Amino acid sequence: MKKQSVAMLLAGGVGTRLGILARKRAKPAIPFGGIYRIIDFTMSNVSRSGIEVVGVLTQYKPLSLMEHIDNGHPWDLFGRTRLVEILPPKTGEDISDWYKGTSDAVYQNLAFIDDFSPELVLIVSGDHIYHMDYRDLYDFHEEKRSDVTVGLIRVPIEQAHQFGTAICDRNMQVVNWEEKPAQPRSNLVSMGIYLFNKKLLDRTLHESARKNGVDFARHIIPLLQKKSRVFGYEFKGYWRDVGTIDAYWNANMDIIRPGSGLDLRNWGIKTNLWVKGEIGDRPAAYFNPGAVVKNSLVSRDCIIKGTVTNSILSPGVVIGRGSVVEDSVIFHDVVIGKNCVIKQAIVDKNVTFGDSIRIGEGELVPNRKTPEQLSGGISVIGKGTRIGSQITIGKSCIIGPDNVITSKKFKAIRSGTTI
């Protein structure tokens, strides 16, 4: 990095719209692509861009995240000048409280940033799937003599209302900013990436705190856009905010969808293979005679006796004889019995299935309780749930964690049901 820089990684997200996947973990800690967690993408980007000091702001269920980040060694952020520090809310200072928003979290940790006397501070969100060299952003920032540069990406206009949208002039200076507008005037949306001149960041966060401003997108950027040089850097590559179950499922499928733009092999994403020995002690995957595998990702320690098509399997998944898994994302150590047919499912860790279970059959309706999370037909099974034999589960169903579903209680679970 040309200028001394610190990155602050926002990893406190609750991920409400990801439902039960985020019930027991922060959104950045949700598994992705078999062996990764969502935060690995940002961590790898930061490390690859030559940034050596990273603060990770956590608040919601940080345990699996803290274990995963560990001392930063998986991303080469461990050394005399390289470090990752987990920054949870704390007490004992004038400004100390739960984090009330993204900018408040950074405000409460200005002292951490000051320790390194950086000229620039990069603020990035830990819950997006993308591959970016931030050095291009730094170059742009310098070239435009910008005070704040916001990472922007074009999305289909009908999705723009979910984001902060920027209206830029020809020079890419942000002339107007609308946070989640009902009628978007622009399809250039915020990636949750902000590069700040440190002095301005200090001043603005203090000022904003006095006015109860707590959020970069809602309070800080609109405030600054009127009086400082705020520029938009348009990123042209694959980027997904995996904010809903449907979006999460789709981004996973992009890994095995040719030409999707998500290219794990060449991006060189790093993860922590060590947590609880989850991968470290596992042998390579075994495929029985009779296994059929089409366009799927298979991790260590999987045992495949049946058929797997267009699916992503985390380590330790067992698929029994005669079973078919299709268009599904299966997390660690899920055991599937014999003669099951599982289509369009996301199955969280340690779920066990008996024999002859069918998932993804019946009519396509949105989930009745949370249609905004789940409408595309994907069914989600929560962590640790046990499902007996001979049970049929429809589309867009949500079965919460740690349930025991027996065929005595349930024979068929209709599409759109939540348990």
Partner 1 sequence: MNNVVAMVLAGGRVDELLALTEKRPKAALPVFATYRIIDFVLSNMMHSGLWNVGVLSQFRPYSLMRHIGTGAHWDFIGRQRGVRILPPYQGFKESDWYKGTADAVYQNLSYIDEFGPEHVLIAAGDHIYRMDYQQLMDFHIDRKADLTICFTRVKEKSSWFGYGIIDKNGSVKGYQEKPKEPRSAWASMTVYMFRKGFLADVLKDNTRASSHEFGRDIIPKVLSGSRVFGFEFTDFWAYARTIDSYYETNQILLRRAIDLKKWQIRTNTAEGCGGGDHMPAHIDGRVSNSVISEGCVVQGDVINSILSPGVLVGPGAVVTDSIVFHDSKIGPNSKLTKVICDKYCTVEKNVDIGNYGKSIASQEFGRLLNSGITVLGRGCRILPGTKIGANTVVYSSAKVDAAEIPAGSVLR
User: Shortest approach of partner 1 to residue 313 CB, angstroms?
Assistant: 7
User: Shortest approach of partner 1 to residue 280 CB, angstroms?
Assistant: 5
Burial 180-213 (b: 16+ CB within 10 A, else e): eeeebebbbbbbbbbbbbbeebbebbeebbeeeb
Alpha-carbon span 40 to 128, nearest angstrom: 9
Structure tokens at 171: 């020079």
Give the other-Cβ count within 10 Å of 169's Cβ: 11
User: Shortest approach of partner 1 to residue 35 CB, angstroms?
Assistant: 6
- Sequence-distant (6+) residues with CB within 8 A of 286 are 302, 303, 304
Partners of residue 319 on adjacent β-strands: 304, 336
Q: Which is nearer to partner 1, 30 or 87 (CB)?
A: 30
Q: Is residue 8 a contact partner of residue 109, using CB atoms and an 8 Å limit? A: yes
Q: Which is nearer to partner 1, 74 or 362 (CB)?
A: 74
Q: Which is nearer to partner 1, 156 or 283 (CB)?
A: 283
Q: Which is nearer to partner 1, 113 or 345 (CB)?
A: 345
Which helix (DSSP H) or strand (DSSP E) does residue 346 occupy? strand 345-347
Q: How far is CA 334 from CA 319, 342, 379, 387, in A?
A: 8, 13, 15, 11
Partners of residue 176 on adjacent β-strands: 167
Q: Which is nearer to partner 1, 167 or 273 (CB)?
A: 273
Nearest CA-CA partner of 7 in 58, 54, 72, 49: 54
Q: Which is nearer to partner 1, 65 or 285 (CB)?
A: 285
User: Shortest approach of partner 1 to residue 47 CB, angstroms?
Assistant: 10
User: Shortest approach of partner 1 to residue 346 CB, angstroms?
Assistant: 16
User: Shortest approach of partner 1 to residue 236 CB, angstroms?
Assistant: 22
* Strand stretches in 70-119, DSSP E: 83-87
Q: How far is CA 143 from CA 64, 137, 146, 176, 278, in A?
A: 40, 10, 8, 21, 45
Intra-chain end-to-end CA distance of the chain, in Å: 50
User: Shortest approach of partner 1 to residue 271 CB, angstroms?
Assistant: 5
Q: Is residue 357 a contact partner of residue 374, using CB atoms and an 8 Å limit? A: no
Contact footprint for partner 1 (CB under 8 A) = 33-35, 44, 74, 255-256, 264-265, 267-271, 273-274, 279-301, 304, 312-314
Alpha-carbon span 161 to 253, nearest angstrom: 24
User: Shortest approach of partner 1 to residue 377 CB, angstroms?
Assistant: 24
Q: Which is nearer to partner 1, 98 or 286 (CB)?
A: 286
Q: Which is nearer to partner 1, 275 or 419 (CB)?
A: 275
Residues in the chain: 419
User: Shortest approach of partner 1 to residue 408 CB, angstroms?
Assistant: 33
Q: Is residue 353 a contact partner of residue 340, using CB atoms and an 8 Å limit? A: yes
Alpha-carbon span 237 to 327, nearest angstrom: 25
Q: Which is nearer to partner 1, 150 or 285 (CB)?
A: 285
User: Shortest approach of partner 1 to residue 363 CB, angstroms?
Assistant: 31
Q: Which is nearer to partner 1, 64 or 392 (CB)?
A: 64
Q: Which is nearer to partner 1, 205 or 312 (CB)?
A: 312
Q: Is 63 helix (H, G, I), strand (E, B) or coil?
A: helix
User: Shortest approach of partner 1 to residue 255 CB, angstroms?
Assistant: 8
Alpha-carbon span 179 to 163, nearest angstrom: 6
